[in-house]
Chains A and B, each alone.
Chain A
Amino acid sequence: MFDSFVAGQLAIGASVGLTYALVAIGFTLIYRVLSAVNFAHGEVYTLGAFATLVAVTTLKAPPLAAVPLVIVVGLAAGLGIERVAFRPFRRFTDEASLKSRAVREATLLSSLALGIVGREAMDQVWHGQWLAIPQDKMLNQPVNLGGVMLSAGELAIAGLSLVLLVGLQWLLLRTRVGLEIRAVSSNLVGAQFSGIDINRVVLATFAVGSILGALAGMVVSLAYGSIQSSMGLTVVLKAFVAMVIGGLTSIPGAVVAGVLIGVAEGAASLWVASAWTEMVAYVLLIFTLIFFPRGLFRRRGA
């Protein structure tokens, strides 16, 4: 019984899943380098969405012209988060303390606290309301894809996640900065001995990761049209789940897991009331962890 309704639900699920995947890319990149969870990533995503809103309403720019502004906002947010919530906890430079549980848990909590502060600040500025992107600026033109109707925005999300994934792999595998990032993530002290400036590499990682997060916020707000200061919270939790199911350190794994979560949610909405679908991702997570305690796609040697 593969009718167009089922296909439509699965397609919607997949596009929601790509949203999780988009956020998970930046989130996983930061985790890979520092083994630290950046809970403030969701607020970068929200900031990206708000920057888009400001660009298209106040500055009256066409949607795509918002890209430079969003990139600048993401860059500033990333550097700020690193400086405020992560740098102060790298007090010592020996490997034991840099990778210690205490530092990991401290940065997890400090980024969580910074996330709360950021969310509340945005709540004050935009009064916690749902704001709408004007209809004519949204990417909502219908596209017929072999009988399944999708909006241009959903295709843009899919396209952007593919582009970012490939671009990131290129950055990591083909450039000097990428080499340094990989060096730091695989052996911190060794990288230091070879003359790599750790602080600079960590800053670069946060910059790249946060720009990806802000771009995700932009394209999602253009596709779905509504923005709220707490929108980053649910998405970052799902991205976190996607990262864990994907094996913590594998970026393609996180993307696959994100899509998997979205499709599972879409499929679940065929059988159960939509209120219950909120827990699908977490049920999937717990069952995955019971059978694959280290996630689905673990990088070799990690």
Chain B
Amino acid sequence: MNRPLPLGWLLAAVILVVVPAALWLFGSAYAARLAQLVLITALLAAALNLLIGTAGLLSLDTVVYYGFGAYLTAILSTNYGTTLPTEILAAAAAGALLGGLIGWPLVRLASIFFAVATMGLATIFHTTVLNWVDLTRGPMGYRGIPAFKLGEFTIDGWAGNYYVIAVVVLGGVWIVHRLTHSYYGNAMRAAREDEDCARAMGLSPHALKLQAYAVHASLMSVAGALYAHANNFLSPDNFVLLESGLTLTAVVVGGLGSLPGAFIGALVVVLVPELLRPLGNLRAFGFGMILFLSILFLPRGLWSEVSSLAFVRRHLFREGWLKR
């Protein structure tokens, strides 16, 4: 067997060295913003992939936890001047707690009932953010969120922002990677494919789904915390149902259940609308067409679950655990 490619390090090198270098050489503030957005979307897509791709729960509630983390961070940092580690931990813990509480009754629901219930959650969240003016400043949006703070230092400028986001996103994706490419991930796949069968093997589908739901909520909430600082401004318009659809598109285009697919999908959903900007008003039209054609011609996404699992086994596990 050939020496396996150190794929994880390669990805980290691209994100931490190649992209910043390219941005520094050729880039603009605009390109740097896009790069940050791609990374945040990749974390969202990875988290959603854990839930939809691996655990098999079709959900549309991305904006709930994403927005929850964003507003939590905005309120904490504006009112109490918190620093980055506190905010990430707070967002992760509060996201997991909220996800656990909401997920407890919801993950019992059968597929389509679950999807509709999460769709309802997204709308409830948007209405709440829009109308709870005392807490979220309502439709005017939350302005003037301070920059990232690490201890005494304030991180500003695009490079600092980019590195903070890159490191946290890589950490989050690493967690999803470890969860999905393990026996634990296989247990989730088993529960996804056949609940009764999984139960017969001593697995608890409800517990597995609830855990997947809480982890996804926690990671999305962290992504929201990053977004709040990177953008300095939050508006309820950032957290409408359509944004959930965008993350779902990233997962579907990239390939359900495939982690490399999450990055590819994030690139597609962030960059394609930007490339379509010259189309003006036809932008959303073009976007719908791309979504439709990709479902029609690439039913397994750009990088399917099966080939992604095989790829990861070949390149990341020196002693392939399948061989044992």
Q: A interface vs B, CB < 8 Å? A: 37, 85, 88-89, 101-102, 104-106, 108-110, 112-117, 120-121, 123-124, 237, 240-241, 244, 248, 273, 275-276, 278-279, 281-283, 285-286, 289-290, 293-295
What is the chain B residue whose CB lies nearest that of A293?
B109
B34 at the interface (CB under 8 A from A): no
Whether A105 contacts B58 by the Cβ 8 Å rule is yes
A241 to B60, CA, bound (A): 14
Cβ-neighbour of B121 out of A88, A120, A237, A286 (below 8 A): A286
B113 at the interface (CB under 8 A from A): yes
Cβ-neighbour of B127 out of A244, A279, A289, A295 (below 8 A): A279
Q: Could you say which of B43-51, B225-233, B281-289 contacts chain A?
A: B281-289
Q: Could you say which of B69-77, B170-178, B290-298 contacts chain A?
A: B290-298
Secondary structure class of chain B's binding surface, majority of residues: helix
Residues of B in contact, count (CB < 8 Å):
36
Offer 11 A-B interface pairs, CB within 8 angstroms, sorted by A: A37-B112, A89-B299, A102-B299, A108-B58, A109-B248, A113-B292, A117-B289, A248-B112, A279-B128, A282-B120, A286-B120
What is the chain A residue whose CB lies nearest that of B241?
A237
A112 to B292, CA, bound (A): 8
Shortest Cβ-Cβ A-B pairs, 8 listed = A282-B120, A116-B288, A113-B292, A120-B285, A117-B288, A113-B291, A279-B127, A279-B124
Whether A293 contacts B110 by the Cβ 8 Å rule is yes
Known contacts A109-B252, A114-B288, A117-B292: A285-B120 contact under CB 8 Å: yes
- Chain A residues within 8 Å of B292, by CB: 85, 110, 113-114, 117
Whether B127 contacts A240 by the Cβ 8 Å rule is no
Whether A282 contacts B123 by the Cβ 8 Å rule is yes
Whether A123 contacts B245 by the Cβ 8 Å rule is no
A57 to B292, CA, bound (A): 34
A67 to B136, CA, bound (A): 47
Minimum CB–CB distance from A122 to chain B (whole Å) comes to 10
B186 at the interface (CB under 8 A from A): no
B131 at the interface (CB under 8 A from A): yes
Whether A285 contacts B285 by the Cβ 8 Å rule is no
Cβ-neighbour of A276 out of B116, B127, B281 (below 8 A): B127
What is the chain A residue whose CB lies nearest that of B102?
A286
Whether A289 contacts B299 by the Cβ 8 Å rule is no
A37 to B113, CA, bound (A): 12
Minimum CB–CB distance from A231 to chain B (whole Å) comes to 16
Q: B interface vs A, CB < 8 Å? A: 56, 58, 105-106, 108-113, 116-117, 119-121, 123-124, 127-128, 130-131, 245, 248, 252, 281-282, 284-285, 287-289, 291-292, 295-296, 299
Whether B295 contacts A113 by the Cβ 8 Å rule is yes
Minimum CB–CB distance from A246 to chain B (whole Å) comes to 12
- Chain A residues within 8 Å of B112, by CB: 37, 104, 244, 248
Whether B119 contacts A237 by the Cβ 8 Å rule is yes
A286 to B58, CA, bound (A): 16
Whether B291 contacts A116 by the Cβ 8 Å rule is yes
- Chain A residues within 8 Å of B121, by CB: 282, 286
What is the chain B residue whose CB lies nearest that of A101?
B111
Cβ-neighbour of A294 out of B113, B120, B127 (below 8 A): B113
- Chain B residues within 8 Å of A89, by CB: 299
What is the chain A residue whose CB lies nearest that of B252?
A109
- Chain A residues within 8 Å of B287, by CB: 116
Whether A109 contacts B295 by the Cβ 8 Å rule is yes
Minimum CB–CB distance from A230 to chain B (whole Å) comes to 11
Minimum CB–CB distance from A20 to chain B (whole Å) comes to 14
A297 to B123, CA, bound (A): 24
Known contacts A116-B291, A276-B131: A289-B285 contact under CB 8 Å: no
